[in-house]
Amino acid sequence: MRVAVLADIHGNLPALDAVLSDVWQAGPDLIVLNGDIADGPMPAQTLDRLAELGGRAVWVRGHADRRLVDAFDGNFMIPGLDTDPSADWFEWCAARLNGYHRDLLAGLPPLVTLDVDGFGPVAFCHATARDDGEYILVDSPVAHYRDAFAGVAEPTVVVGHTHMPFDRLAAGRRVINAGSVGLQYGHPGASWALLGQDLTLRRARYDTEMAAATLRSHARDLPGIEGFTRNVRAPTSADEALKAFTLDARLRPRDR
């Protein structure tokens, strides 16, 4: 079986459509939606498009999907924080969803395992096996990799979360990051991964200026929309993203 992995769509429907066009040309047997799917400028439209995939897609929960459900239910809060600057973002996105969207996200598993040609059993999770919001980076220590996936038997794990594609062997396990469809860091183009006999980290090019205009037209009052569309047009550099993730991991508790 050949598997396409789409992670971190973040409600960017123009990027998703570009990647799906690329995916259909590649002809995988299955699509894994590896978390952080809907929060962003076009949340309902993104979920509706993905729902059309039916049995061709396997869904995995990301931390943003979990928090979007919390916002929909009125239970949005990070443990240990009195206020959360991202609350307005999630509440805006949640207000655009209906009960079907909410239940779809609430029922997602945090990890799935599939047999993939050339790989054998592969585990798919959004961030790490122990925490759907934990940062693990290409330059994280080997001990971090060992502990983060200690409960996983599969020799290969595919993640997302940091929006930066990589392929690393650490602590006896291959860890692949598929990158981000909707909010890429370090490079132009919408990232996704194709597994089958071998790994290909792919990028679908799309008109980011037009995409940014479309996203703004649907989400003019979304808190943070200007920063989101600015990154769509001109992605944050890899160095900047790594520094930000490293700092954030030090300042915040792991489970959030």
Structural domains in the chain, sorted by start: 3-251 (3.60.21.10)
Cβ 9 vs Cβ 40: under 8 Å: yes
Instruction: Give the separation between CA 90 and CA 229, rounded to whole angstroms.
Output: 17
Q: Report phi then psi at 11, rounded to 5.
A: 65, 20
The reported pLDDT for the residue numbered 76 is 80
How many angstroms separate the Cα of 64 from the Cα of each of 36, 141, 173, 226? 5, 25, 26, 19
The reported pLDDT for the residue numbered 195 is 98
The reported pLDDT for the residue numbered 79 is 56
Instruction: Give the separation between CA 142 and CA 92, rounded to whole angstroms.
Output: 38
The reported pLDDT for the residue numbered 253 is 46
Instruction: Give the separation between CA 197 and CA 138, rounded to whole angstroms.
Output: 23
Q: What predicted TM-score, i.e. pTM, was given to this entire model?
A: 0.93
Per-residue pLDDT of the chain (256 residues; tens, 9 = 90+): 999 999 999 999 999 999 999 999 999 999 999 999 999 999 999 999 999 999 999 999 999 999 999 999 998 866 555 567 789 999 999 999 999 999 999 999 999 999 999 999 999 999 999 999 999 999 999 999 999 999 899 999 999 999 999 999 999 999 999 999 999 998 899 999 999 999 999 999 999 999 999 999 999 999 999 999 999 999 989 889 888 887 766 545 444 3
Cβ 192 vs Cβ 2: under 8 Å: no
